[in-house]
Structure 1
Amino acid sequence: MPHAHHTLHWLWRELRIFIAISVATTVFFYVMNRDSFAANLIYSLCSTLFIQGLIEIGRYGLASLIRKRSPDNLEAQRNWPGWGLMAPWVVVSGVVGYIAGHMFGDLLTGAQHAPATIIDNPRAVLVSMTGVFVLSLGVTYFFYARGRMAAMETRTEAALRSAAESQLKLLESQLEPHMLFNTLANLRVLIAQDPPRAQAMLDRLIAFLRATLDASRSGSHSLSAEFARIGDYLELMQTRMGNRLSRQLDLPDDLVGLPVPPLLLQPLVENAIKHGLEPTVAGGWIRVSAQREGGTLVLSVRDTGAGISVGGTGPGALPPGDSRFGIQQVRERLAALYGKTASLELIAASDDEGGTLAIVRLPVS
């Protein structure tokens, strides 16, 4: 149905152009021939139809030939063969279309206005041909200008998409070193305290980085892959924290295939560990869950750690001393990908267990 609507819109636009040109040529022929307005309308419709048809056939045909020889030609891609070919074709189309249109008009009206009847009047022929050339050039330039505007809009949209993608890649490239530095800092401490556990943590780190390499290079992956990477990271942290860390991942079966940006929840899980659970002696638990609310995917990261200060409670609040990198990174990625249709909210948990709740909302693709 959208394709049919586009076709009808194109036909209506072309019809308006055709009517405007026909009215102009009707006035021109009326002044030249001094016949009835109805007869001149017939001649103008016929001439306009032939001239415009020949110009369009030549434009598309020549552009098609150029595309076969030079597929990268930008002008040919938007069906414009260039003025070097179109200028002589406009002259040919104008002369042939004018004569053919008048001859066809003679068949319809039974009159004799074909160029052969006015050959004895060079001034009339000159004026008629001049009018035809001006009309033909005007029609051609109109389509040329419209094509250039469409091409400029396409290039602008492509540039905006490229800028957004570049910004997104920059944000993703910043995420991996941030996570890696935190993990290596934990590993450095553990080497001195418990070498066997440090060895196990190093093995898990290698496996985690290997698993996330492909994900970080793609534009999106499934929600099940996102949860798998979070599970790998939490296993890595389990080696560091031992019994102080409990974890739970809740992913409904009907959501496993939904596409999400890779490593989107990683900074939120890191913040929950670094600012929530590690500062507390007893540790606590972290739960990562997903649910669907209408056309919105809701992802949440809940921990029972130190929580956020009362003064910082509310959407977007951060734990004291946080570098803000992780939260800001998630927000900027959401903005680059989804605009205002996605959000991140960070609030203090309202139950007795305390801690922090991070909620990401994004549209379901």
Structure 2
Amino acid sequence: MPPINAATIARRALAAVVFNTVIALAITAVSGEAFAVNMLYSQFIGLFIWALIDGGRFVLHPGGGPGAPAMAALVVGSVLLAYPLGSACANLLLGRPLLIGLNNFPRATLGFVLMSLSAGGFGAYYFTSRETLARARLAGEEAQRQASEARLKLLESQLEPHMLFNTLANLRALITTDPERAVAMLDRLNDFLRATLTASRTEAAAGRHTLADEFARLRDYLELMAVRMGPRLRYTLDLPDALSRQVVPPLLLQPLVENCIRHGLEPSREGGEIRVAARQGSAGLELEVSDTGVGCEAEPKAGFGLSQVRERLATAYPGRAGIEWHSAPGAGTRTLLTLPLQTP
């Protein structure tokens, strides 16, 4: 239910005053009585109607609006109660006895009551409809947010086994060719998994995964790969302190780093360098992953990395993030992600 604050109450009171003024003008045109007197009675009675209807709704139904039958009964009861209360207040200000009949305002008492019922019913319907739509919109946004979070969790759960299976496949190949390095790589894998599991639990409890966390995981992974590739793998991680607390989806950059190793550095006898950098650009937060590997003419169609990153960006930042991929034979590959920049 939308929050009720002073601004909301003021808007509703102003709408009630406008309704009351219209009624006073209509009565003056029909009855010929003084507008000031009509206005006084109209405002008192109309504001009592508004207060009783709105107050009754939030007292009797604090969690949401009442149904149509209850709302109709509340409108009728509020009008019938507000009419004598408002009339008594107006009589008091005009120096008349509180219980005096309304001889001058208006002569057609029944007509005024019917008009008040119509105005009260319309106002109640208007505000109730707005709140119902607002609640539906908030419920829809919450459902969409939960669906997006579930989608991100699903994509993350797909990503982590994918990285693990690739690493185990590399480890298996290394066991037969260089057992000593295979043991070192297994030790690194053990450390990496322990650190990743600890970080995942901490971030899940806090509900935040920052660029500092992301770069720490990338460093662990690249150190793991460096055991297998030796001096053929060099890397640079560039994260300015001012951007270290920016929140990003977990493991967003790792598929791109894996692609650099698999498609760029591994096919090259000399290997190469991977550079991951974060910076603030004109369009927001820019995350760049590049390598000096063999490159290629066209974006790889098969595989997991780029498509997974695109899907995660579309889920986490619908319509607000972009990805650019550039590569050329012998010139390496460069991928640039653009995300919304969060203000501190």
Query: Could you state the TM-score of these two structures normalised by the residue count of structure 2?
Result: 0.83
Q: Identity over aligned residues, as a percent?
A: 46
Paired with 1:252 and 1:146, the residues of 2 have a C-alpha distance of 46
> In the alignment, what sits opposite 2:296?
308
> In the alignment, what sits opposite 1:287?
275
Q: How does 1:119-268 map to 2 (within 5 A)?
A: 128-213=112-197, 214-215=199-200, 218=204, 220-268=208-256
Contact 1:30–1:36 (CA<8 Å) still a contact in 2? no
> In the alignment, what sits opposite 1:95?
80
Contact 1:118–1:124 (CA<8 Å) still a contact in 2? no
Paired with 1:9 and 1:50, the residues of 2 have a C-alpha distance of 17
User: Which deviates more, 334-343 or 123-132?
Assistant: 123-132
Paired with 1:323 and 1:343, the residues of 2 have a C-alpha distance of 20
Q: How does 1:17-96 map to 2 (within 5 A)?
A: 17-24=16-23, 26-27=25-26, 31=30, 35-64=33-62, 76=63, 78=64, 80-82=65-67, 86-96=71-81
Letter in 1 for 2:275: R
The change in CA–CA distance for 1:215 and 1:223 in structure 2 (over 3 A counts) is same
Structure 2 unaligned runs (5+)? Answer: none
The change in CA–CA distance for 1:29 and 1:264 in structure 2 (over 3 A counts) is same
Aligned to 1:323, which of 302, 310, 313?
Answer: 302
> In the alignment, what sits opposite 2:15?
16
Kindly state the Cα deviation for residue 83 of structure 1 after the two structures are TM-superposed. 5.4
In the alignment, structure 1 residue 354 sits paired with structure 2 residue 338: no
Aligned to 1:270, which of 258, 263, 276?
Answer: 258
Paired with 1:203 and 1:193, the residues of 2 have a C-alpha distance of 17
Aligned to 1:105, which of 75, 85, 90?
Answer: 90
The change in CA–CA distance for 1:182 and 1:58 in structure 2 (over 3 A counts) is same
User: Which deviates more, 332-341 or 181-190?
Assistant: 332-341
Q: Deviations over 1:22-49 (max 9, x none)?
A: 4136535865x65334432322122101
The change in CA–CA distance for 1:349 and 1:364 in structure 2 (over 3 A counts) is farther
Structure 1 unaligned runs (5+)? Answer: 65-75, 313-317
Contact 1:30–1:40 (CA<8 Å) still a contact in 2? no
The change in CA–CA distance for 1:45 and 1:125 in structure 2 (over 3 A counts) is closer
Paired with 2:102 and 2:231, the residues of 1 have a C-alpha distance of 104
Paired with 1:253 and 1:94, the residues of 2 have a C-alpha distance of 64
Contact 2:289–2:335 (CA<8 Å) still a contact in 1? yes
Q: Secondary structure at the match of 1:302?
A: strand
The change in CA–CA distance for 1:132 and 1:289 in structure 2 (over 3 A counts) is closer
Paired with 1:263 and 1:202, the residues of 2 have a C-alpha distance of 21
Letter in 1 for 2:45: S
Kindly state the Cα deviation for residue 84 of structure 1 after the two structures are TM-superposed. 6.5
Q: Deviations over 1:33-87 (max 9, x none)?
A: 65334432322122101121222222222234xxxxxxxxxxx2x4x35556555
> In the alignment, what sits opposite 1:333?
312
Q: Deviations over 1:185-243 (max 9, x none)?
A: 11121122122222222222222223223438745412121111111111111121122
Paired with 1:16 and 1:89, the residues of 2 have a C-alpha distance of 19
The change in CA–CA distance for 1:29 and 1:129 in structure 2 (over 3 A counts) is farther
Paired with 2:70 and 2:8, the residues of 1 have a C-alpha distance of 29
The change in CA–CA distance for 1:25 and 1:165 in structure 2 (over 3 A counts) is farther
Letter in 1 for 2:148: A
Contact 1:250–1:289 (CA<8 Å) still a contact in 2? yes
Contact 2:24–2:35 (CA<8 Å) still a contact in 1? no
**Number of aligned pairs?**
332
* Alignment RMSD: 3.1
Q: Secondary structure at the match of 2:252?
A: coil
> In the alignment, what sits opposite 1:71?
none
Paired with 2:277 and 2:102, the residues of 1 have a C-alpha distance of 86
User: Which deviates more, 6-15 or 51-60?
Assistant: 6-15
